[in-house]
Amino acid sequence: MTTVSQGAASVSPAKLLNRPPIPAIDPSVLTFIAGKRILVTGAGGSIGSELVRQLLDCQAAEVFALDHDESALHSLSLHLHGHGLFDDERMILADVRDGLGLLRIFRLVRPHVVYHAAAHKHLPLLERYPIEGLKTNVLGTKHAVAAAIEADAGLFVNISTDKAARPTSALGVTKRLAEMIVAEHAMRGTRVASVRFGNVLGSRGSFMDSLTFQIANDQPVTITDPDVTRFFMTIPEAAGLVIQASLLADQGETYVLDMGEPIRIVELVRRYAILAGIPLPEIRITGLRVGEKLHEQLFDGAELTSPTKNGRVWAVTAKQAPPKKLTEQISKIARRSEGRDSLKVLLELSKLLPDDGTIRHPSRLAPEKRPILPPSWRALRRDERELNTFMERTDPDQLVSGYQGP
């Protein structure tokens, strides 16, 4: 156990990605951030806390860290100040679900720039509790962008996810609606935009957390499918590119960050074992869960993409206008959501999405047709045996491009 733990400790997310790091923040960003008063929601999370650190490094005048999780704020305070005394008014305990409370805070702080990182992000949990996604991801974003405009902020940046492209999950639906709400608030005196990226390696609750725990405790490594791929970034890369993209924000566009090529999860497991100097672990195939995709994508057919002056960022705009009075429609659905069947609520929300013929959320199916069960366990066990045999007989000293089948 000690040997495994020591080897695992040397495996950083950057090493695991096995590619050149994305360039650091350029001087134009430093000029933009310097001297400004900035507020970060979800500041106790992995991306939010890194945003706080990088913004302070960019010589922001003040950075206000807002989160509803007091333990997360305590951890951030320890890293920033060396103590958790909470004697700094810039540590704010608040919930983006509380629209009036958020408005009072924004009026008091009067931020020049707002980075909105607060969100529910775990796909399987939101499939079980989609109304929680509605409250935080959708209504929380509505409250935050409205408060930023009311407080005369110069810029509001919403942090989104690649799961918002061709959404097939409650997470994707709620984050796509959040992007649409931000776009609806354009041209109201505050520059607004959303920034979309993929999985952040090393963030709390990420694949690397599970991988490290399972290997350290001599458990099989669980992956959903032998061929599943994801886009990955490190925490500093994601936060840095969010700040870079904020220079481009204008009229509600969504910006998509360059994350390199998608990576097979099984390849990450192999790299991890090799870098840690440990035997290749046993892999257990669990099957894709409801709402999960085999391969993520960054755009969908309902969107137009164009390059920006930043070579690592693309701009995305909708081909068609959002539904009229989108925010009002969402608010009505939210008011009716209490005590209702969550699947029906998700169905109503998904109907507000731009449907280009490729967006087919499972909630649009009748309940009896919704895919609840994973593929047969017999098929999963067969895939599992084939994959483990393949990994055992492949030269562990060579990093292959990915699992190609036995």
How does residue 6 score in pLDDT terms, banded at 50, 70 and 90?
Answer: low
Count CB atoms within 10 A of the CB of residue 152.
13
The set of catalytic residues is: 163
Q: Is the pLDDT of residue 130 over 80?
A: yes
Domain range summary for the chain, segments of one domain joined by + = 14-200+232-260+294-369
Per-residue pLDDT tens for 350-376? Answer: 999 986 444 454 444 444 444 333 344
Q: What is the pLDDT of residue 357?
A: 44
Q: What is the pLDDT of residue 354?
A: 86
Q: What is the pLDDT of residue 186?
A: 93
Q: What is the pLDDT of residue 234?
A: 92
How does residue 310 score in pLDDT terms, banded at 50, 70 and 90?
Answer: confident
Between 7 and 45, the higher pLDDT residue? 45
Mean pLDDT of the chain: 86
Least confident stretch, 5-9, 110-114, 373-377 = 373-377
Task: Render 80-117 in DSSP notation, one character per residue.
Answer: HHSS-----TTEEE--TT-HHHHHHHHHHH--SEEEE-
Q: What is the pLDDT of residue 224?
A: 93
Q: Is the pLDDT of residue 111 over 60?
A: yes
Q: Is the pLDDT of residue 90 over 80?
A: yes
Q: What is the pLDDT of residue 400?
A: 34
Q: What is the pLDDT of residue 107?
A: 98
Task: Render 198-255 in DSSP notation, one character per residue.
Answer: -EEETSTTSHHHHHHHHHHTT-PEEES-TT-EE-EEEHHHHHHHHHHHTTT-BEEEEE
- Mean of pLDDT values over 174-194: 95
Q: Is the pLDDT of residue 53 over 70?
A: yes
The DSSP symbol for 257 reads: E
Tokens at residue 138, please? Answer: 């959708």
Q: What is the pLDDT of residue 24?
A: 65
Distance CA 42, CA 192 (A): 18
Q: What is the pLDDT of residue 402?
A: 37
Q: What is the pLDDT of residue 258?
A: 84
Between 329 and 259, the higher pLDDT residue? 329
Q: What is the pLDDT of residue 384?
A: 58
Q: What is the pLDDT of residue 246?
A: 87
Contact 264, 272 (CB under 8 A): no
Q: What is the pLDDT of residue 387?
A: 63
- In what helix (H) or strand (E) does residue 303 lie, and over which residues does it extend? strand 303-307
How does residue 393 score in pLDDT terms, banded at 50, 70 and 90?
Answer: low
The DSSP symbol for 281 reads: P
Between 245 and 384, the higher pLDDT residue? 245
Which CATH number does the domain 14-200+232-260+294-369 belong to among 3.40.50.720, 3.30.40.10, 2.60.120.10, 3.40.50.180? Answer: 3.40.50.720
Per-residue pLDDT tens for 213-237? Answer: 999 999 999 999 999 999 999 999 9
Distance CA 271, CA 394 (A): 13
How does residue 405 score in pLDDT terms, banded at 50, 70 and 90?
Answer: very low
Between 405 and 255, the higher pLDDT residue? 255
Least confident stretch, 133-137, 190-194, 237-241 = 237-241
Q: What angle do CA 260, 168, 134 make, to 5 degrees?
A: 105
% of the chain exceeding 70 in pLDDT: 84
Q: What is the pLDDT of residue 406?
A: 31
How does residue 8 score in pLDDT terms, banded at 50, 70 and 90?
Answer: low
